Amino acid sequence: MINDEYFLAALRLAAGSDPIPGHVSAAARDTYGLRVSQAVTAPPADCASPIGARGGDGPGLVRFVAAGLTFDLEVTVGDGLIDVAGQVFPHPGEGSHVDVRTPHLTLTRRLARTGQFAVTGLPPGWLSVVCHRPGLAPVQTRWVRIRP
Amino acid sequence: MREPRDPAELLKSAADGDRTAWDLLESRFGPRMWAVARVCGLNEADAADAVQGAWLRLLEHLHTIREPSGVGAWLATTTRREALLIARRDSPGILSVDVASDPDPAAAVLEADDSRLLWKTVSDLKEPCRTLLQLVATDMGSQQMAVRLGMPVGTVGPTRIRCLEKLRTLISLQETVQ
């Protein structure tokens, strides 16, 4: 049995018994507003503490690398909200900043001299960080889903 | 009536900044993606996450989809991957997935726009396949299905596989004839 999900999905679609909810369609359309023109996407890379290695209680670490930049994100989930402590290195230069984004909320942070930044109280779900560098293409991490 | 815009053209327009093209992609493929997420066993909230995840992946790959005309199958494949990852409840925390460069060939069944043909083919099947597949399509559980079909619950799964195989064969034959 290979990928029967597609066939079953076609049946469900034909039956019309479980149409896509309006809010799901609306969220999909709103996703387009998250497009960052000319951005380079950084995929996850191997790092000292791989994804999920610390389980659900401690912080999770994930590294993204592209265009000469490395993003280290330490994500903590507590009380149903997400805190992110991150570092971009090497430092992308004077005037750089990061946007920590969820589909519904973007928080902008100037980078410390060490390239570090932090945000707290994000809703669980999809998350991405974009680093804006003067005169260079922005670099965005791939979207990752974070749930308690 | 105007011909619907080609998916490859919609993808290119969306990549070039045309929001309307993105909305049209959503109109055309969103319902299929929802159906894929739901048959992977996700509840509404998780299915919504899986569908949104697939759209976010498309956003990341707007300029790099290898076969733009197959963007529908790519979205279905990506939705399934995201859904199966979410369905693995034993991995809390950060979830990331390798993005498919090519869609699953099996996703092509969702490309067929003629759902009436699929439904008619189901209606033409003999029992118990006809009723069983109609019940499958409405997301009825095995226990309830067994009661409705008057068969032991243990036989529902194997019968479902056989019925899907029959349906697949009939659809393939119809496609061959056309």
**How many whole angstroms separate alpha carbon A92 and alpha carbon B99?**
27
Q: Are A29 and B23 in contact (CB under 8 A)?
A: yes
A5 inside domain: no
- State which residues form the domain around A106: 38-146
The CATH number linked to A82 is: 2.60.40.10
pLDDT at A49 over 60: no
Q: Please answer yes or no on whether A10 and B96 come within 8 Å at the CB atom.
A: no
A53 inside domain: yes
Q: Which two tokens stand for residue B115?
A: 């759902």
**How many whole angstroms separate alpha carbon B151 and alpha carbon B28?**
38
Among B10, B20, B55, B84, the residue to mutate for chain A (most A Cβ within 10 A): B55
CATH topology of domain B115-177: Arc Repressor Mutant, subunit A (1.10.10)
B109 contacts on A by Cβ (under 8 Å): 6-7, 10
Q: How far from chain centre, in Å, is Cα B126?
A: 25
A20 inside domain: no
Q: Where are the beta strands (DSSP E) in A2-115?
A: 40-42, 44-45, 60-66, 69-78, 81-89, 97-102, 105-110
Give the pLDDT confidence score for residue B74 in this predicted structure.
93
Count of beta carbons in the 10 Å neighbourhood of residue A147: 20
Count of beta carbons in the 10 Å neighbourhood of residue B127: 9
CATH number of B7-104: 1.10.1740
Residues A109-140 have pLDDT tens digits of 999 999 999 999 999 999 999 999 999 999 99
Residues B124-151 have pLDDT tens digits of 899 989 998 888 888 777 788 888 888 8
Residues B10-64 have pLDDT tens digits of 999 999 999 999 999 999 999 999 999 998 889 999 999 999 999 999 999 998 8
Kind and range of the H or E element at A38? none
**How many whole angstroms separate alpha carbon A53 and alpha carbon A37?**
34
pLDDT at A13 over 60: yes
- How many structural domains compose chain A? 1
| CB-nearest partner of B94 from A18, A25, A60 | A60
What average pLDDT does chain A have? 87
What SS3 class is residue B1? coil
A76 inside domain: yes
Largest Cα span, chain B: 56
A23 inside domain: no
pLDDT at B4 over 80: no
Identify which has the larger pLDDT, B94 or A19.
Answer: A19
**How many whole angstroms separate alpha carbon B147 and alpha carbon A120?**
51
**CATH 1.10.10 placement within chain B:** 115-177
